[in-house]
Amino acid sequence: MTTDPRLSAHDLTLAYDKRVVAEQLDVRIADGSFTVVVGPNACGKSTLLKALARVLKPQSGAVLLDGQAIASYPSKHVAKQLGMLPQSPIVPGGIVVEELVGRGRFAHQRLLRQWSPEDEAAVAAAMRLTEVSDLADRFVDELSGGQRQRVWLAMALAQQTPILLLDEPTTFLDLSHQFEVLDLCAELHEQGRTIVAVLHDLNHACRYATELIVMKAGEVVAQGSPAEVMTARLVEDVFAMPCRVIDDPETGTPMVVPADRHRRRASRTAEAARA
């Protein structure tokens, strides 16, 4: 008998006002997986993540958490189960790093227990893991884009949720810090957390994901392990980019090598002629 995962979405229609972004989406997030959502710009990746996090209310269909509609739960209950790093979070004015990270502990506080040694330890651990401890007293709006991104990630980690949703967590980060953040996500996954991330880099996705969800024009066109899903035909169909898919010499995972510019230009010309 197949057990339903803790987090899933069924027959979702997602829209901003009257602009429909996706229809009839069905997604299952395997428990304990490191699931990465990939696809072209404006295909609905971030919109799906917002719906899974209860940030965006579906026009129809439902997101289920532990077998119940996520909308039926109190906000604090959801915040104890799901941590979310949005794509472009807004920095509150005049707030220092340690205070912002501490806001990740909101769901764990009660009327008669506003702060505790457990909260203090969770904030310190999150800042240490994301390497922002030395920024504790800095104002967040004075930081670089990469530093801010790590601070927001620390706030999400401070929630200590079993499920972590990350919308483009490597945005603004240099190459070294991109791998450090993804290594951290992999370690959290190995410790038992379910990770769902939106990434643009296909090779990063294939290297770190246990499960890929590939989207195009508001639809899920493929879902499975990187070895099962990532083929040259899929990349050309979804991203309109001729390529070769080879084994990564370091990890053995699929690695996408774009065709040279002449073949890519010829492909675009042929596509335009067919249109």
Read off the pLDDT of residues 206-232 as tens digits, 9 standing for 90 and up: 999 999 999 999 999 999 999 999 999
Q: Which two tokens stand for residue 238?
A: 């979804």
**CA nearest neighbour of 64 among 25, 7, 22:** 7
pLDDT tens per residue across span 40-76: 999 999 999 999 999 999 999 999 999 999 999 999 8
Please tell me the distance from the alpha carbon of residue 231 to that of residue 123, in angstroms, as a whole number. 41
DSSP string for 98-139: HHHHHGGGGGG-BTTBS--HHHHHHHHHHHHHTT-GGGTTSB
pLDDT at 163: 97
- Inform me whether the pLDDT recorded for 112 exceeds 70: no
**What are 216's strand-pairing partners?**
219
pLDDT at 110: 66
- Inform me whether the pLDDT recorded for 262 exceeds 90: no
Span 248-261, average pLDDT: 95
Q: pLDDT band for 11, please (50, 70, 90 cuts).
A: very high
Q: Which two tokens stand for residue 132?
A: 């922002």
**CA nearest neighbour of 30 among 4, 57, 1, 69:** 4
Domain ranges of the chain: 7-94+160-228, 231-275
The DSSP call for residue 92 is P
pLDDT at 48: 96
Say which amino acid occupies 5.
P
Q: pLDDT band for 115, please (50, 70, 90 cuts).
A: confident
pLDDT at 236: 94
pLDDT at 269: 77
CB 24 within 8 A of CB 13: yes
**Mean pLDDT for all residues in the chain:** 92
CB 195 within 8 A of CB 35: yes
- CA dihedral 201→206→212→215, nearest 10 degrees, is 30
pLDDT at 111: 58
pLDDT tens per residue across span 128-167: 999 999 999 999 999 988 898 899 999 999 999 999 999 9
pLDDT tens per residue across span 78-108: 999 999 998 878 888 889 999 999 999 888 7
Q: Which one of 3.50.50.60, 2.30.130.10, 3.40.50.300, 3.10.20.310 gives the CATH number of domain 7-94+160-228?
A: 3.40.50.300
CB 36 within 8 A of CB 199: yes
Q: Which two tokens stand for residue 24?
A: 């009839």
Provide the whole-model pTM. 0.89
**CA nearest neighbour of 202 among 214, 190, 188:** 214
pLDDT at 275: 66
The DSSP call for residue 69 is E
